[in-house]
């Protein structure tokens, strides 16, 4: 939660927040894909590794 500020944010500050938000979203998507791939690899190794 962000505290409510009475003064408006500068354009550069808003742009920075948008870049950080986009980077965080991309990072979370990448980590989610890595976790999914890791989980599939573990499932394949437990089932004998042959498809």
**Measured CA distances, 12 to 15, 19, 34 (Å):** 5, 10, 33
Q: What is the pLDDT of residue 51?
A: 52
- The rounded distance, in Å, linking the Cα atoms of 18 and 33 is 23
Q: What is the pLDDT of residue 29?
A: 98
Beta carbons of 23 and 31 less than 8 angstroms apart? no
Question: Is 7 part of a structural domain of the chain?
Answer: no
> Structure pTM?
0.62
Question: Is 5 part of a structural domain of the chain?
Answer: no
Question: Is 35 part of a structural domain of the chain?
Answer: yes
Question: Is 9 part of a structural domain of the chain?
Answer: no
Residues 10-22: tens digit of each pLDDT: 889 999 999 999 9
Segments forming the whole domain that contains residue 28: 14-44
Residues 1-51: tens digit of each pLDDT: 566 666 677 889 999 999 999 999 999 999 999 999 999 999 999 887 555
DSSP string for residues in 1-51: -PPPPSSPPPHHHHHHHHHHHHHHHHHHHHHHHHHHHHHHHHHHHHTTS--
């Amino acid at each position: 939660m962000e505290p409510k500020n009475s003064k408006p944010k500068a354009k550069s500050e808003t742009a920075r927040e948008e870049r950080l938000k986009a980077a965080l979203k991309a990072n979370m998507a990448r980590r989610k894909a890595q976790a999914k791939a890791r989980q599939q690899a573990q499932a394949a190794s437990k089932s004998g590794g042959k498809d």
